[in-house]
Structure 1
Amino acid sequence: MKNLKIASTLIAALMMSTIVGCASTTESKHATPGQYIDDVAITTGVKAAILNAPTLKVSEINVETYKGVVQLSGFVSSAENIATASSVARSVNGVKSVKNDLRLK
């Protein structure tokens, strides 16, 4: 009985150390809450700018922002729309760069 108690304690300690050891030590998706808020504001601004562009359809273009870098993805109807979306995104305040992954339908 005493050996069973020692063994279960050792197993529990081993499991806890494994769980703690597997915890991610890499940087979280956003370094700070302030950076996350800034990225949300940039994403919202880019989506609004796309909505206001007469040739673009906001429903076709996905916008994600990470530390000021905007990524555009989705399918649009013309090469002109790809270029327009990229230039519209660059015009938004706070955008550091744009990764344009838009494709033609």
Structure 2
Amino acid sequence: MKIKTTYSAVLMMSVVALLVTSMPVYASEMDDRIELSARKSHVFKTYLSGDDIKIQSKDGAVTLTGTVSEESHKSLAYETVAGLPGVKSVDNRVELKGTPPAENSDAWLGAKVKATLLFHQSVNAGKTEVDVKDGIVTLRGEAATQARKELTTEYAKDVEGVKDVNNEMTVSMPSTTTKTTVGEDIDDASITAQVKISLLYHRSTSALNTKVETNKGVVTLYGKAKNAAEKDLATKLANDINGVKSVTNRMTIE
């Protein structure tokens, strides 16, 4: 009886020792996976490629340091990393290069309009020039169709602080070689981040406390809307984000 008890105790101690020694290895692998996933994400490779952001994860607690060229990039980095599997918390210590533009200034508004247009697949942010004077936005560049030109105007007008929009964009026939982003495989964390930032920047949805989840490109929205129009608009905006395949809106109406 004594021999059996001793054997059991030794066996238990061996199991405990194995678990203790393997846990740091697992945690290290998870942290490495988080850091790699962040760097390989669509957001970091596309929008934040010119920024100097360092990502360090320890037991799922991520710290972001470094510098970015635009204020919106700080939020974009945070939301992307926060949406990665295994991440428990994010400490965003990223700083902006230079002096940030004053809130509600023309430069500040211009940056918000550019960031808002950037995520939408139905507008050509890369070929859209944005100028702001006294809160009035002027858009120049090319739009593939008249409908897309009008949509660019609509999106710009819906940015908080914008007083009016002059759209001087020209309409050109879309190139047959133009690559569309509709249905493009973009990682879920990047899609979630883009949807969150877009809903925050649009005046009509900025006050909505919307929770966003993405699974293989399918976005689900949770939260509360004041009316059906607000709920429908949230669906419309989310549907037009790069990489989104479909949207399920489970928001409730107050």
> TM-score range, shorter-chain basis?
0.5 to 0.7
Query: Alpha carbon RMSD of aligned pairs, Å?
Result: 2.9
Partner of 2:5: 4
Residue 55 of structure 1: CA displacement? 1.6
Asked if the contact 1:65–1:71 (Cα under 8 Å) also holds between the matched residues in 2, the reply is yes
Decide which structure has greater helix share.
Answer: 1
Asked if the contact 1:74–1:101 (Cα under 8 Å) also holds between the matched residues in 2, the reply is yes
Which ranges of structure 2 fall in alignment gaps of 5 or more residues?
20-36, 42-83, 85-185
TM-score by length of 1: 0.66
Matched residue pairs, number?
89
Residue 47 of structure 1: CA displacement? 1.5
What does residue range 65-84 of structure 1 map to in structure 2 within 5 Å?
A: 65-84=214-233
1:56 aligns with one of 205, 211, 218: 205
Distance in 2 separating the partners of 1:68 and 1:85: 16
Residue type matched to 2:249 in 1? N
Asked if the contact 2:208–2:225 (Cα under 8 Å) also holds between the matched residues in 1, the reply is no
Asked if the contact 1:47–1:58 (Cα under 8 Å) also holds between the matched residues in 2, the reply is no
Relative distance call for 1:61 and 1:3 in structure 2 (3 A) is closer
Asked if the contact 2:208–2:223 (Cα under 8 Å) also holds between the matched residues in 1, the reply is no
Residue aligned with 1:54, SS: coil
1:39-86 deviations in whole A, cap 9, x for unaligned? 221112112221232321354211122221111010111100111100
Q: Which has the higher contact order (CA 8 A, sep 6+)?
A: 1
Asked if the contact 1:46–1:89 (Cα under 8 Å) also holds between the matched residues in 2, the reply is yes
Partner of 2:123: none
Asked if the contact 1:42–1:92 (Cα under 8 Å) also holds between the matched residues in 2, the reply is yes
Partner of 1:39: 188
Identity score, percent:
32
Relative distance call for 1:9 and 1:49 in structure 2 (3 A) is same
